[in-house]
């Protein structure tokens, strides 16, 4: 079966302030690299607008309603200091990011495709139940996990996050939910300050913090010794991946030293787990990655492995 790519021209909208690392060029370089001939086998679909109600599966009514009411007609509205903002085009962008995530999960869980990659922005894994932060407004991956549970009756969903920043929002949303496993490698100390190994939820949280300067060897050790065994014990029916590529050695927002090959290795390992545990069902959603060359190379490696099946 094929690999599904969810994309949309609007993801190049959501204009951020001058000098902001989460900028439209991120989406443009991802689109460019995935337009190369080696990706011709991708099944490409445009991300649809999500029904706003789906966001309420991971966020409070107060938060969703407040965010909708805060939409500006011009200029910027700042939601979390100077980092997280909305402008007039943002609302469509974030609803398509949610919609694309749900489409990808539908495609995989109905058996139409084997796996999927959602090339969206802005990222989502810092958004908490009632708080936008770290460039994130809606927590796409968490909304997707709830969708898989509610629409398809899945009892065990795993979320694996290898962004350089800890997905505090995803952890907060599922901290007391034994039906969702959250596993993360990330740099510590670093924004947002969460993600210590001692944060274990109800036995469903598996954090593997890395030190500044750590690279592929330490990433492999974290996965082989902690995260992959946790997946085996949990036996998920679906694996969701918060695919952030800002742990790349070129990235300006972190101090880890991963390469595109390291992200390829992680992808292969997660696909092997998915094949063994849940019939290969895996959906990856783009999170961070702020050096354009590092992002392009890493996405190419990641999606290249998804295509291999």
How far are the Cα atoms of 67, 87, 130, 135, 153 from residue 263, in angstroms, in the given order? Answer: 34, 32, 31, 22, 31
Q: Which domain holds residue 92?
A: 3-308
User: What is d(CA 185, CA 218) in angstroms, rounded to the nearest whole number?
Assistant: 10
- Model confidence at 13, pLDDT cuts 50, 70, 90, reads very high
The region of weakest confidence among 81-85, 86-90, 206-210 is 81-85
| Cβ atoms 128, 172 nearer than 8 A | yes
From edge to edge, which strands make up the β-sheet containing 238-243? 43-46, 3-7, 115-118, 282-286, 238-243, 157-161, 180-187, 205-210
- Give me the sign of the Cα torsion angle 178, 106, 283, 8: negative
CATH number, domain containing residue 107: 3.40.800.20
What is the average pLDDT value for the chain, to the nearest integer? Answer: 97
Tokens of residue 151, six digits: 């629409």
The string of pLDDT tens digits covering residues 20-77 is 999 999 999 999 999 999 999 999 999 999 999 999 999 999 999 999 999 999 999 9
* pLDDT score of 309: 83
User: What is d(CA 308, CA 13) in angstroms, rounded to the nearest whole number?
Assistant: 31
The string of pLDDT tens digits covering residues 204-232 is 999 999 999 999 999 999 999 999 999 99
Catalytic residues: 126
- Model confidence at 121, pLDDT cuts 50, 70, 90, reads very high
Q: What is the DSSP string of the chain?
A: -PEEEEE-GGGG--PPPTT-SS-THHHHHHHHHTTSGGGTT-EEEEPPPPPGGGGGGTS-HHHHHHHHHT--SSS-EEEETBTEEE-TTHHHHHHHHHHHHHHHHHHHHTTS-SEEEE--SS--TT-BTTB-BTTBSS-HHHHHHHHHHHHH--S-EEEEE--SS--HHHHHHHTT-TTEEEEEEEESS-TT----TT--TTTTEEEEEE-TT--HHHHHHHIIIIIHHHHHHH--SEEEEEE--TTBTT-TT----B-HHHHHHHHHHHHHHHHHHHTT-EEEEE----SHHHHHHHHHHHHHHHHH-
Q: Is the pTM of this model over 0.95?
A: yes
* pLDDT score of 54: 98
Closest CA to 139 of 103, 172, 106: 172
The string of pLDDT tens digits covering residues 260-283 is 999 999 999 999 999 999 999 999
User: What is d(CA 91, CA 238) in angstroms, rounded to the nearest whole number?
Assistant: 28
Residue 82 confidence (pLDDT) above 90 = no
Q: What's the total number of domains in the chain?
A: 1
């Amino acid at each position: 079966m094929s690999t599904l790519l969810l994309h949309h021209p609007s993801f190049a909208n959501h204009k951020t302030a001058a000098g902001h690392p989460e900028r439209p060029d991120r989406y443009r370089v991802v689109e460019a690299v995935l337009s190369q001939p080696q990706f011709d086998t991708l099944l490409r679909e445009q991300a649809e607008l999500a029904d706003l109600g789906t966001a309420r599966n991971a966020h409070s009514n107060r938060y969703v309603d407040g965010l909708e009411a805060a939409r500006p007609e011009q200029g910027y509205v700042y939601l979390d200091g100077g980092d997280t903002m909305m402008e007039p085009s943002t609302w469509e962008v974030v609803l398509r990011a949610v919609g694309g995530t749900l489409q990808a999960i539908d495609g995989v869980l109905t058996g139409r495709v084997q796996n999927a990659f959602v090339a969206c922005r802005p990222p989502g894994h810092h958004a908490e139940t009632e708080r936008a932060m770290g460039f994130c407004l809606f927590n796409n991956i968490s909304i997707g996990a709830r969708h898989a549970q509610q629409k398809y009756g899945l009892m065990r969903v795993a979320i694996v996050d290898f962004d350089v920043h800890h997905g505090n929002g995803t952890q907060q949303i599922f901290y007391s939910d034994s039906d969702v496993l959250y596993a993360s490698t990330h740099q510590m100390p670093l924004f947002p300050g969460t993600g210590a190994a001692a944060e274990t939820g109800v036995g469903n949280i598996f954090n593997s913090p890395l030190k500044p300067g750590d690279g592929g060897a330490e990433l492999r050790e974290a996965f082989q010794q902690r995260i992959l065994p946790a997946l085996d014990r949990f036996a998920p029916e679906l694996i969701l991946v918060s695919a952030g590529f800002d742990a790349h050695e070129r990235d300006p927002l972190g101090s880890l030293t991963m390469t595109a090959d390291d992200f390829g290795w992680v992808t292969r390992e997660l696909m092997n787990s998915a094949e063994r545990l849940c019939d290969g069902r895996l959906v990856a959603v783009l999170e961070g990655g702020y050096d354009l060359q590092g992002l392009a190379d890493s996405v190419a490696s990641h999606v290249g492995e998804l295509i291999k099946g």
